[in-house]
Every structure is written in structure tokens, then in C-alpha cells.
């Protein structure tokens, strides 16, 4: 009787086991995992500052516009002081110049009025004498007509001479007054232009001062605080990091065998690896330009190195994912039997 060789039974079992392992590994390479990321903002300023006070703690939830930090710029205070001093100096100089011009105008007006009053007084006196002479001529018949006419002509000549004298005396005064009036109108323009320029600089530095109140850009979480009260922070050094309240990006790695299957603009289902009921729709926004080693946490088999391409997926902020939560991605519209149909079964919590 021939003996049964146990190898005949073992060989099919080994083949079946190898085939199962092969299928399992193929399923692993088709898996498409990622990590939900909150958008991080590194808050810094483009000037050296000194930290006065810190109003938040790491991980604290804050509303948009909440004061996070208060800082100062000593150089800014000095510039503001210098600008305000220059503005005051220009305004004082402008006022003094205008006051001097007005004083000269008042002096010329008084001089003009005095000259007019003096000559007009002499003219009135001559006119009075002339009227008196005419009255006497009518009353006294003995006065010769020729003498009367001579006196009248003499008075008219004196009156005309006084009027000419008044005109000649007023002409230079009027010219000087017109010049001063024009100067009064134009005197403040250069200084006012300079003052306006300085005030714009002051407004700019006021805006810079408002930037020294570091406010939360949106609802979210205070991250790492990289400074302490009283510390001098160089320009562009991060003072505090700030995170959006909910993740809005998924950083994933697609296996190199599926690189050609993923394109920018593709829609994907994003499913929590621990809570499959939590899911949303995302859109591929970017692809890496080289094949890299997939992080251990995102491999199907952590102990086996695998390689793939980085994929960035935008997701709506209204989601319940936690920061750094591992998620599974499923391509929308994948047919049954395609590689992506393997994504429809969420992994077990231990995967």
C-alpha cells in the first residue's frame, strides 16, 4: 500500500496562503490614507518689537478679533513724536508769518486812512474858503470881479494839487497792500502742503500702531507661543501660531501604483478611520512632484516601507474631524471592481 505524502496536502495550502497574502498586499497598496490638518498661521511682524502682554494660552479657543498679544515699537514712538513736533513747528511758523502780513496790512490801512484824512481835511478847508469868498462877493459889491475869479482859480488849483498829491500818495500804498493781500492768500500753501504730508505720515504710523495689537484672524485655536513678556522679537520672527477651528486640508499619500489615477480637481469622499459615519466631500487641490516614502502611520502595514505621492485635498471647514486625525479617502464615481472600489470598505480601527 502506497503511503500518502503529506506534501501533497501542504503544497495547495501554501499556494492558497501565498495567494491570500498577495491579495491582502494588493488591497494594502490600494489604500489611500491621509491626515486632517488645521490651517496654521504663523503670526509675525515686519519690524523689531517688544512684547508687552500675552492674553492667551496654547490651545485656547478664541473668537475672531480677540486680542492675542500686545507689542510696542520704540522707534515708532520716536518717529511719531518727531512728526508731531515738526507739524507744530510748521503751524507756529505759518501763524507767525500770517500774523506779520496781517500786521503790515493793518499798518498800511491806517497809513492810507491817515493820508486820506489829512489831505481831505485840507481840501475841505479850501472848499470852505472858496464858498466863503463866493458868499462875500454876493454881499459886497465893491470887490472887483477879476479878483474874485483869480481867488477862485487859485483855490481850484490848490484843490486839484491836493487831489493829485492824494492819488500819488495812495498809489504805492495800494500796490503794497495788494501785494501783501496776495502774499496772505499764498503764504500758507507751502507750509500747509508740508503739514499735509507729515499728517499722512502720522496716519500711516497710527495704522502701524494698530498692528501692534495682534488680533485673532478668525475663530480658532491659539497654537504655540514663541515669546515672553518683555522679550525683544526680531522682524519676521514668529510670535504665535494660530489654527483654524476645524481642519480644512487633508495631507494624504497615494501609493505609487495609483499615481496616474489621481488628478487635480478630482472629488473624493473623506471618511474618519475611527468613526466611518463622520465624512465629507473633498477636492484634490495639489499633487507632489516626486515620489516619497509614505509616513509609517499612513501605511497599511507600518513595518513595510512603501512609497507614493503627496496629495493635498481641500475639505469644507464645517466638519467634525480632529486635528491630525487619520482619514480614508474614496474617489467619487469609482466603478465596482476598480482599484478605488477597494476604498469603500473603511479599515478596521487597528489598521
Residue that the C-alpha cell 497574502 belongs to: 21
Where does CATH 1.10.287 sit in the chain?
75-210
Longest Cα separation, the chain: 198
181 has pLDDT over 50:
yes
User: 26-38+245-344 — its CATH code?
Assistant: 2.40.30.170
This prediction has a pTM of 0.48
Domain 75-210 grouped into CATH 1.10.10? no
pLDDT in tens, 298-343: 987 788 888 999 999 999 988 888 888 999 998 765 433 333 333 3
Using pLDDT thresholds of 50, 70 and 90, give the confidence band for residue 8.
Answer: low
Looking at residue 262, its pLDDT comes to 85
Strand order in the sheet with 240-244: 40-43, 240-244, 220-225, 61-62
pLDDT in tens, 231-267: 999 999 999 999 888 898 999 998 887 777 788 998 8
Looking at residue 116, its pLDDT comes to 85
Based on the number of CB atoms within 10 Å of its own CB, is 35 exposed (0-12), middle (13-18) or buried (19 or more)?
A: buried
Where does CATH 2.40.50.100 sit in the chain?
49-74+218-242
DSSP 8-state assignment for residue 61? E
Query: In this structure, are residues 347 and 329 in contact, taking their beta carbons and an 8 Å threshold?
Result: no
pLDDT in tens, 84-128: 888 888 888 888 888 888 888 888 888 888 888 888 888 788 777
Using pLDDT thresholds of 50, 70 and 90, give the confidence band for residue 168.
Answer: confident
Looking at residue 22, its pLDDT comes to 54
pLDDT in tens, 27-57: 443 457 999 988 888 999 888 899 999 999 9
Where does CATH 2.40.30.170 sit in the chain?
26-38+245-344
Domain 49-74+218-242 grouped into CATH 2.60.120.890? no
283 has pLDDT over 90:
yes
Amino acid at each position: 500500500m502506497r503511503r500518502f505524502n503529506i506534501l501533497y496536502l501542504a503544497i495547495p495550502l501554501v499556494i492558497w496562503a501565498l495567494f491570500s497574502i498577495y491579495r491582502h498586499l494588493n488591497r494594502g497598496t490600494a489604500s489611500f490614507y491621509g491626515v486632517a490638518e488645521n490651517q496654521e498661521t504663523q503670526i509675525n511682524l515686519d519690524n523689531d518689537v517688544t512684547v508687552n502682554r500675552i492674553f492667551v494660552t496654547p490651545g485656547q479657543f478664541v473668537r475672531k478679533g480677540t486680542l492675542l498679544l500686545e507689542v510696542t515699537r520704540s522707534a515708532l514712538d520716536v518717529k511719531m513724536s518727531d512728526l508731531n513736533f515738526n507739524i507744530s513747528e510748521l503751524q507756529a511758523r505759518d501763524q507767525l508769518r500770517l500774523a506779520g502780513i496781517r500786521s503790515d496790512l493793518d499798518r498800511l490801512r491806517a497809513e492810507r486812512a491817515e493820508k486820506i484824512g489829512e489831505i481831505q481835511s485840507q481840501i475841505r478847508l479850501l472848499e470852505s474858503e472858496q464858498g466863503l469868498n463866493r458868499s462875500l462877493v454876493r454881499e459886497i459889491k465893491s470887490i472887483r470881479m477879476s479878483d474874485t475869479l483869480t481867488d477862485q482859480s487859485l483855490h481850484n488849483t490848490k484843490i486839484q494839487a491836493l487831489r493829485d498829491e492824494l492819488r500819488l500818495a495812495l498809489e504805492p500804498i495800494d500796490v503794497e497792500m495788494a501785494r501783501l493781500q496776495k502774499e496772505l492768500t499764498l503764504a500758507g500753501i507751502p507750509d500747509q502742503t508740508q503739514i499735509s504730508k507729515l499728517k499722512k505720515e502720522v496716519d500711516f504710523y497710527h495704522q502701524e500702531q494698530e498692528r501692534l495689537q495682534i488680533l485673532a484672524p478668525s475663530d480658532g485655536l491659539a497654537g504655540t507661543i514663541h515669546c515672553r513678556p518683555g522679550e525683544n522679537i526680531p522682524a519676521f520672527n514668529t510670535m504665535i501660531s494660530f489654527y483654524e477651528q476645524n481642519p480644512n486640508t487633508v495631507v494624504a499619500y497615494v501609493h505609487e501604483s495609483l499615481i496616474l489615477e489621481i488628478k487635480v480637481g478630482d472629488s473624493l469622499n473623506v471618511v474618519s478611520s475611527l468613526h466611518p459615519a463622520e465624512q465629507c466631500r473633498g477636492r484634490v487641490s495639489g499633487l507632489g512632484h516626486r515620489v516619497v516614502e509614505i509616513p509609517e502611520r499612513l501605511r497599511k502595514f507600518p513595518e513595510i516601507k512603501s512609497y507614493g505621492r503627496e496629495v493635498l485635498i481641500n475639505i469644507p471647514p464645517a466638519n467634525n474631524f480632529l486635528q491630525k486625525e487619520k482619514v480614508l479617502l474614496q474617489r467619487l464615481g469609482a466603478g465596482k471592481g476598480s482599484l478605488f472600489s477597494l476604498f469603500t470598505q473603511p479599515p478596521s480601527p487597528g489598521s
